Amino acid sequence: DQQVKQNSPSLSVQEGRISILNCDYTNSMFDYFLWYKKYPAEGPTFLISISSIKDKNEDGRFTVFLNKSAKHLSLHIVPSQPGDSAVYFCAASGYNAGNNRKLIWGLGTSLAVNP
């Protein structure tokens, strides 16, 4: 059962426009969410995170929005640049029944920004 879902395997946008990557989760125990970016043949790199006590976190061109009632978060990239073309992973963290913290990853969304 996929607790963290990125339902769009791929997304294509024009340079300069907004890219919106979505992530849904099923477990209300998640209290911290992260986005990672991955280029081919490289390891993922941390992009931005958000705690469940916030509904928005902004870092330059990247903004993450969290809607706890909908169990949904999204990553906005404005304006999109060709160098943003990569796979974006959503990850959610929280304590499980055994009081151990877990980090669950989505399968990723491949973003292509066209010049």
Q: Which is nearer to another protein, 34 or 111 (CB)?
A: 34
Per-state percent for the chain, helix, strand, coil, to nearest 5: 5, 60, 40
CB of 32 to another protein, least distance (A): 5
Instruction: DSSP for 73-96, please give it.
Output: EEEEESS--GGG-EEEEEEEEEE-
Q: Which is nearer to another protein, 86 or 94 (CB)?
A: 94
β-bridge partners, 35: 48, 90
3-22 residues near another protein, rule: CB under 8 A: none
43-102 residues near another protein, rule: CB under 8 A: 43-46, 49, 89, 93-94, 100-102
| Residue 113 CA from chain centroid, whole number | 17
Q: Which residues bind another protein (CB under 8 A)?
A: 32, 34, 36, 41-46, 49, 89, 93-94, 100-103, 105-108
